[in-house]
Structure formats: structure tokens, C-alpha cells
Amino acid sequence: MKRQVAIVGGGPAGMMAAIRAAEVLGDGARVVLFDKNERLGRKIYLTGKGRCNLTNRRGWEEFSPHIHPNQGFLKSAFRAFSNEDLIRFFEEELGVPTVTLQGQRVYPASLVAGDVARSLERRVHELGVDIRYGTSVASLADLADFGAVVIATGGKSYPVTGSTGDGYRFAMEAGHTVTPVFPSETALLPQDYDPGLPGMEMKNVGLQLYVDRTMVESEQGDFNFTADGLESGIAYHLSRRAVWALYNGQQVDIVMDLKPALTEAQLVKRMQREEQAGGFWSREHFSASGTKARAAEPVAFLRRFLPEALIAPFLRAHPGLTIEKLPAALKSWPFHIVDYKGFDRAVVTAGGVSLKEIVPKTMASRLRPGLFFCGEVLDLDGDTGGYNLQIAFSTGAMAGANAAKYVLG
């Protein structure tokens, strides 16, 4: 049996695999880690807006619904190296204190993503792993001298970081099925996107996703209107389903509820109360003679309900709006989605190496002995919130340990 383990890709999954393989072998020199870049974990530096949301602290029951398309596949790897294990690993083994912020998101206490990347890279060095920087593996056949091979090449998103989808080619070389890959956790562009919307930060709104006019998913929380469309937060969560539908030529619409805490009837009552109290009248709604105008304008109510900058785009989206139609309009502002931001800006790649051909308890290929897969190259992705890095770390740890056990026989 050949005694070395090759790991292709030095992202979070590959570095974790290298660490565990070196620990199991008790000899880091028997682990060779290839990365096409001159430093490891390049993508990590960009994560969490430079702060690196390295995991999410929720227990499995609440964690698992954020994993797609097959949360069950991750269960063994998560049990073997869970979010709490990962936090302990960073704090106790790597010396990186962590902090848990809103939504159970865990970050390095320094809020510097580089601290995560550098501490992992340092550990790989300390263990004596043979790191081949600036080396792009072209084919599985080039690794024939190794006893086991771990593919940790990531997906296709943010290709400038080195993740260019090479692992899909390696998987196919070994006879694996690769399910269609598409961008996820990405911006959704509406038709006739109003120029007044980019820059608006939406707090606690509802979004409902319709595919071919059927409501398929809904979320409540925050998101942003950016130059690229509806982005981050709950918009990202809907993007997986929305992009897949657009990819398949289906009609995609998103309906925004600006007042999700109130029913339409409650909104009507609140408007009536406001009207009786005269509270909504603004200076420009007094007539020239100084008496109150008789009919209230929607805009007077809107000032009570919406941020000023949102009023003009809202009115442009609802031409001819009357007071009577206002509650319904606040509850359902439709956006017809026509495009999405591609792999160059998507946070994650959905689709990948088919999970049916991978053993979930080892990350081993069912088709080729000695071949293992981990991280985003798999047909496994998570919502934003630390889920994707946990996938990389859990599956990486499992693949590395089992590749090492494999060469030990």
C-alpha cells in the first residue's frame, strides 16, 4: 500500500483534512497538500465581510434545516466534529478566541477573518505537512503515486480565490455523477429595478417567493437593496430556490410585505386611528387657505409607515395608489425577478459531486477506493450564517482522518 495522502485544495476543508490526516498518521510529512495559490485559505479572508462567520452555534435540530439539499448526509460528520467541537478546536488548539453574536453566529473574537485563515495554515505547518503552494493539480491521474486522495477544491463561486470547479472534473474522471451546479446565496435582480432602491436597508420585512405563481418559500427578517438587486439576509435564503427556478426557465416573483407583524385588517384600523388623531397630516397636506385638505393622500400615511427614501420608489411601483388600496400594497409589493448574480459574486455553489456516491460516515467514494471528497465540491451547501464553513470543517475532518486510516490499512 502506498503510504502518502494527497489533498487537493487548501481551503478550510482541505486544511482541516490535512490536519486530521497528519494527526492520524502521526507523521505530517506523509500528507501532501496542493493549492494553486501562494497562501492557503484565500477565500476565508473574504468571509463574513472580512470577519469570518466560522460556524453557527445552533444545535443540530435547528442547524440542519439550513443545510441543502440533503441535511441527513451531514449528520455523521457533524456529530463527529460539531460546531461546539470546532469552537473548542479554534480556542484550545489554535489559540483563536471566539465570540457568538446575533443569530448564534460565531466569529473570531478579533473579528478578523485573517486570524482564522492564518491559524489554520500555521497548524498545517506545525504538523509538518508537505505544502505545495502555487501548484494546480490538472488531473487525478497525476496523483497515482498516492495511497489516498482527498478532493477539497471547493465550488465555482468567487473564482478569483482559486475555486474554479476543477474538482467536478476530477470526480467525473473517477466516474462520479456531478449534479448541475448553480450560484446560491446571491443577489436577485428585479425587472425594471427602481434606481431609488439600491442602498436601502430593509429591516424586519417579509419576503415570499413564488415560482410559476405558486408560493414556495417565505422568510421574515432583514435584507438589502444593492446595485445588484435584492441581496443578503433573507433574500439570500430565497436565492437558492429562485436561481434554480430561473435556471429551469420558470417564472420567479418575490412579494415583499413591509408590515409583516400586522394583518391587512390591523393596518386598516391603525390608519383609521391615525386619521382620527390627525397624526398623519403633514404640512403640505394643508390647503392654501390653511384648512385641512379633505382627502388624505397616501403619502401622508406612508410617512408614518415607511422610511422617507422608500416612499418615492414605493409610489412609482404602485401608480394610481389610493388610500383604500394602501394596506394591501404595503402587505404585497411585487418584484418580478429576471436575473441573478453569477458565480463571480455568489457566496456559495449549489450542486456538485452527487451525495449518493459518497459514504457519509467516511466521505469515501463508493466508486473508487482511496478517493475522498469534502467541502463545497460536494452537492451540499448551507444558508449564510456560518453553515458553509461548518460543512467544510466537518466533512474535511472526516475525509482527512479516513484517508489516513485507509493508507494505514
Ligand X SMILES: Cc1cc2nc3c(=O)[nH]c(=O)nc-3n(C[C@H](O)[C@H](O)[C@H](O)COP(=O)(O)OP(=O)(O)OC[C@H]3O[C@@H](n4cnc5c(N)ncnc54)[C@H](O)[C@@H]3O)c2cc1C
**The binder of ligand X chosen from 4, 163, 239, 394 (CB under 6 A):** 163
Question: d(Cα 266, Cα 304) in Å, to the nearest integer?
Answer: 15
How many amino acids of this chain bind ligand X (CB under 6 A)?
37
According to DSSP, residue 195 is labeled T
Q: Is 373 in the site for ligand X (CB under 6 A)?
A: no
Least Å from the CB of residue 233 to ligand X = 13
Question: d(Cα 104, Cα 101) in Å, to the nearest integer?
Answer: 6
According to DSSP, residue 292 is labeled B
Question: d(Cα 242, Cα 383) in Å, to the nearest integer?
Answer: 14
Question: d(Cα 367, Cα 308) in Å, to the nearest integer?
Answer: 60
According to DSSP, residue 40 is labeled S
**The binder of ligand X chosen from 127, 353, 392, 403 (CB under 6 A):** 392
Point out which span in 7-15, 119-127, 269-277, 290-298 binds ligand X (CB under 6 A).
7-15
Identify which of residues 187 and 271 has a Cβ nearer to ligand X in the complex.
187
**Which of 324, 373, 343 has the alpha carbon at shortest distance from 173?**
373
Least Å from the CB of residue 138 to ligand X = 7
For residue 294, what is its C-alpha cell? 379633505
Identify which of residues 16 and 209 has a Cβ nearer to ligand X in the complex.
16
Q: Is 376 in the site for ligand X (CB under 6 A)?
A: yes
AA letter at 166: D
**The binder of ligand X chosen from 4, 388, 394, 402 (CB under 6 A):** 388
5, 403 contact by CB (below 8 A) = yes
Query: Please, how many CA atoms are within 13 Å of residue 102, restricted to the half-sphere of its CB?
Result: 4
| Cβ neighbour number for residue 296 with a 10 Å cutoff | 18
Q: Is 106 in the site for ligand X (CB under 6 A)?
A: no
- Positive or negative: CA dihedral 55, 60, 66, 69: positive
**The binder of ligand X chosen from 347, 380, 399, 403 (CB under 6 A):** 347
Least Å from the CB of residue 10 to ligand X = 5
Binding mask 45-84 for ligand X (x = CB under 6 A): -xxx---xx-------------------------------
Q: Cell numbers 451547501 label which residue?
A: 381
Cα 29 → chain centroid: 34
Looking only at residues 118 through 147 of this chain, which bind ligand X when binding is defined by CB under 6 A? 136-137
Binding mask 293-332 for ligand X (x = CB under 6 A): ----------------------------------------
Least Å from the CB of residue 307 to ligand X = 27
Q: Which residues bind ligand X (CB under 6 A)?
A: 8-14, 34-37, 42-43, 46-48, 52-53, 136-137, 152-154, 157-158, 162-163, 166, 347-348, 375-376, 386-389, 392
